[in-house]
Amino acid sequence: MPAAPRRSSASGEHRLAEPPGGADLEGLRAAAAGCRACPLWKSATQTVFGEGPAAARLVLLGEQPGDREDREGRPFIGPAGRLLDRALAEAGIAREDCWLTNAVKHFKWVPRGKLRLHQSPGARDVASCRPWWEAELRRLQPRALVCLGATAAQAVLGRDARVERDRGRAHATPHAAATFVTAHPSALLRVPDEASREAAFARFVADLRRAADAARDGPQGAPG
Ligand code: SF4
């Protein structure tokens, strides 16, 4: 297991990631594997880069990989990923048609006994990693981008973005013809009672469906 992280890092440990300019998605993936632009790589197993087809019209941007993603090197394969898979299926979206990625590409965690507990990435972590997802989106040029949770929403729409206020409609960004905001699937896992969890899941599916419509129909679903 990688070394437990230190609780804080000197500001000098953060700089902007530098994706190679002419690289395609696989070139970006290879370069990101060696990224050392912020301290998160030190306590993670590996970089978890985005995955999906280069022709994907729909991109899902999450926060950061979790414990299982860190071990296996793929995004959205843990409990939150399974919930996302179920929601995608219900929204009529094939996961294999989407590009799935995260705003931060290394797992940030704190030790709790034998467990590695998720720790939200800080603003400097997100800022350091930003060039990677921007480079992914420049190559993909998707019709629709879905920000899953506040970290992704704020990375794309700015610090004032709020999931509950900003979901349910398309936003104009330079990254996709239409950008949407919704909850992170891990937040749905934490909803305590079943009725509320089902309601939250239904809203999540409706948000994904909206994005799928924009990805399929192009400008119709884009912000006016
Ligand atoms: S989290 Fe992002 S910026 Fe930091 S080392 Fe990993 S890939 Fe690089």
Cα of 49 from ligand 1 centre, angstroms: 10
Q: Is 186 in the pocket of ligand 1 (CB under 6 A)?
A: no
Mean pLDDT of 1-21: 73
Q: Is 31 in the pocket of ligand 1 (CB under 6 A)?
A: no
- The structure's pTM equals 0.94
Is the pLDDT at 220 greater than 70? The verdict is: no
Q: Is 40 in the pocket of ligand 1 (CB under 6 A)?
A: yes
pLDDT over 70 percentage in the chain: 92
Is the pLDDT at 224 greater than 50? The verdict is: no
Q: Which CATH class is domain 35-221?
A: alpha beta
Q: Is 64 in the pocket of ligand 1 (CB under 6 A)?
A: no
Ligand 1 pocket test, pick from 29, 106, 108 with the greatest ligand atom count within 8 Å of Cβ, gives 106
Cα of 205 from ligand 1 centre, angstroms: 30
Determine the angle formed by the axes of helices 123-140 and 25-32, rounding to 10 degrees: 160
Is the pLDDT at 9 greater than 90? The verdict is: no
Cα of 33 from ligand 1 centre, angstroms: 9
Rounded CA gap, 86 and 197, in Å? 14
Contact residues for 64 (Cβ-Cβ < 8 A; gap 6+): 102, 103, 104, 105, 106, 107, 108, 118, 121, 151
What H or E segment, with its residue span, contains residue 147? strand 144-148
| Contact (CB, 8 A) for 11 and 36 | no
pLDDT tens profile 170-188? 999 999 999 999 999 999 9
b/e sequence 68-90, b meaning 16+ C-beta within 10 Å: ebbbeebbbbbebbebbeebbee
pLDDT bucket at 4, cuts 50 / 70 / 90: low
pLDDT tens profile 56-114? 999 999 999 999 999 999 999 999 999 999 999 999 999 999 999 999 999 999 999 99
Amino acid residing at 169: R
Q: Is 108 in the pocket of ligand 1 (CB under 6 A)?
A: no
Task: Look at 9 and 75; give whichever has higher pLDDT.
Answer: 75
- Supply the DSSP symbol for 120: P
Please state whether beta strands 58-62 and 98-102 pair in parallel, antiparallel, or not at all (unpaired): parallel
Residue 195 burial by Cβ neighbours in a 10 Å radius (0-12, 13-18, 19+): exposed
Q: Where are the domains of the chain?
A: 35-221
**pLDDT confidence of residue 217:** 86
Q: Which residues pair with 111 in a beta bridge?
A: 116
pLDDT tens profile 143-174? 999 999 999 999 999 999 999 999 999 999 99
The token duo for 152 is: 């992704």
Q: Is 37 in the pocket of ligand 1 (CB under 6 A)?
A: yes
- Supply the DSSP symbol for 129: H
Alpha carbon separation from 201 to 60, 133, 185 (Å, rounded): 17, 26, 9
Q: Is 165 in the pocket of ligand 1 (CB under 6 A)?
A: no
b/e sequence 37-66, b meaning 16+ C-beta within 10 Å: bbbbbebbbbbbbbbbeeebbbbbbbbbbb
